[in-house]
Structure 1
Amino acid sequence: MPRLCATRPSSTPMSGLFTSYTAQQSLDNSHIGVRGNTVADRAAAEAHSLPSPIDMTTDLTDSLTNLQTTCNRHWDNELTDALQYTSLGRIRHDTRHHWWTHSPSRALDTAVTILRIGHTRLNAHLHKLGMTADPHCPWCPTYPDTPEHLLLQCPRHHSHRTALLQSLYPLLLRRPTLADLLGGSPDPGLAFKILKHTRTFLQKSGQLHRI
């Protein structure tokens, strides 16, 4: 605390004035040069010059939106790259939602899904897993037993394939690809109709047990 210096009162009329002046002068002099007091005074002066405090309540809405956008972008990039090396990549190319339709037959739905992801019991896939020595079609010794061959090429199922192609003509699909037959169309309505005919082909061809 500042040190007050006591002085002897004077009997003159001005003694009160001199006494007050002496005490104030002693107080001011003792305050000067003390580093802590100087710093405190400067801080107080700066505080008075600052604007009033602003409500800085954090709004998490924008933060969560930005986080979700970043995660979705990362997932898009990762999946797009990964799909290039999978059978599903022939049907799906990004993370956009693909509509699906269900049939009364669970076996048919399962067969279509298996053909989409490529993990079938056809010889070409079993051969990759070392589960069979021959990767070829049972009726075509020089052609791999793949989903493409089963649905689009194998002469064993020519009559059923002809019926399939004829059912696709009204849909303006003259040369369907494997992706088309397995619901790869970006138009959900068209994809549903094509899948219905694909299931009919699988059922009539009698090949569900091999898928």
Structure 2
Amino acid sequence: MAFYDLNVKIGHGIKLPSAASIYTAEACAVLAALEYIEYSNVEKWIIVTDSMSVLEALSNPCHNAKTNYIIFQIKEKYHKLCNMGRDIILFWTPSHVGVVGNEEADTLAKLITNTSDVVPVKKIKISYTDCSTLLKELMKKKWLDHWQESIQTKGKWYHQINHGIGKPWFTKGTYKNRKFYSYISRLRIGHGRFNEHLHRMNMITSPSCSFCNQANQSLHHIFFECSIFSLQRLILIEDLLQVYKEPEVIPRSLPDLLKNENCFVALYKFLVTTKEEI
């Protein structure tokens, strides 16, 4: 965190705890600039910042439990200085547009960040929002570590499709119907009403394909091998060409197809015209 006084051409900065967010650092910079103004004899000031989010928070008269506590400190300090006769304007500028003071402050802040062994860390309270973000990252890391350990014994099919944590696929795009989401979810986890899986669960006596009786009825067999579905497979290829454009780039495995959400409708269409349920 740093600020720069163009009048005397001197910069000031401090290092914040690693848990502090960029937003907190930007708010601290504004607060530090106000504290600097308090001990100056100059009455008129313009504080230029590239943090639109901080300025919006300061201009918002309504706050809640999620409001960063530094925003309250800035407001308190600002009103105190105004009562002391200081004329202070908070001004926004786009970042990295050649504003001398802004560029100097950014350079100083980066220098402080990269010299962690020299510059002491200022002890500040970590805000609720920063703590929440930190905890989410820690939980995500712990979950990923557990995920990497567990795939050695289970979940290998799903791991071929998804390697991390992200926004759920079903929150994207437009809603279709319940069956669509049910079928795609079952394909992604590799569990469903196909004979190979049902036999593994001891629910039926044979894993053989009930349509062609030529191989085990796995998901791969249904989509790529079963001779009964040759015509529907041609239609599937035509639908996939709308996504991949060239035949040679179409994936030859179901997990690879399931990595691309644009393939979901084509895969669903194939299921309802062949197996009918999964």
Name the TM-score, length of structure 1 as normaliser.
0.59
Matched, 1:59 2:125: yes
Paired position in structure 2 for 1:157: 229
Q: Structure 1 residues 128 and 196, CA, compared in 2 at 3 Å: closer, same or farther?
A: same
Unaligned runs of 5+ in 1: 1-55, 186-190
Q: Structure 1 residues 94 and 81, CA, compared in 2 at 3 Å: closer, same or farther?
A: farther
Paired position in structure 1 for 2:141: 73
Secondary structure (helix, strand or coil) at the match of 1:121 reads coil
Q: CA deviation at 1:57?
A: 8.4
Paired position in structure 1 for 2:201: 129
Q: Structure 1 residues 170 and 202, CA, compared in 2 at 3 Å: closer, same or farther?
A: same
Aligned residues: 147
* Partners of 2:189 and 2:197 in 1: CA distance: 11
Which residue identity does 1:167 align to in structure 2? D
Which residue identity does 2:219 align to in structure 1? P
Matched, 1:93 2:169: no
Paired position in structure 2 for 1:26: none
For the pair shown, which has the larger CA radius of gyration, 1 or 2?
Answer: 1
Q: Percent identity?
A: 24
Looking at secondary structure, tell me which structure has more strand per residue.
2
Q: CA deviation at 1:166?
A: 1.8
Q: Structure 1 residues 135 and 99, CA, compared in 2 at 3 Å: closer, same or farther?
A: same
Q: CA deviation at 1:142?
A: 4.1
Secondary structure (helix, strand or coil) at the match of 1:133 reads coil
Q: CA deviation at 1:122?
A: 1.0
* Partners of 2:229 and 2:192 in 1: CA distance: 18
Unaligned runs of 5+ in 2: 1-121
Q: CA deviation at 1:81?
A: 3.1
Paired position in structure 1 for 2:180: 108
Which residue identity does 1:77 align to in structure 2? D
Ranges of 4+ aligned residues in structure 1 off by more than 4 Å: 62-66
Q: Structure 1 residues 57 and 174, CA, compared in 2 at 3 Å: closer, same or farther?
A: closer
* Partners of 2:189 and 2:243 in 1: CA distance: 25
The match for 1:82 among 124, 142, 150 is: 150
Name the TM-score, length of structure 2 as normaliser.
0.46
* Partners of 2:215 and 2:269 in 1: CA distance: 24
Q: CA deviation at 1:127?
A: 0.9
* Partners of 1:66 and 1:79 in 2: CA distance: 20
Which residue identity does 2:167 align to in structure 1? H
Which residue identity does 1:81 align to in structure 2? E
Paired position in structure 2 for 1:40: none
Q: CA deviation at 1:83?
A: 4.1
Q: CA deviation at 1:161?
A: 0.7
Secondary structure (helix, strand or coil) at the match of 2:169 reads coil
Residue by residue over 1:99-122, the C-alpha shift from the partner in whole angstroms, topping out at 9 and shown as x without a partner, is 334553322321121121122111
Looking at secondary structure, tell me which structure has more helix per residue.
1
Q: Structure 1 residues 69 and 113, CA, compared in 2 at 3 Å: closer, same or farther?
A: closer
Paired position in structure 1 for 2:31: none
Residue by residue over 1:30-80, the C-alpha shift from the partner in whole angstroms, topping out at 9 and shown as x without a partner, is xxxxxxxxxxxxxxxxxxxxxxxxxx9861336555444322211111123
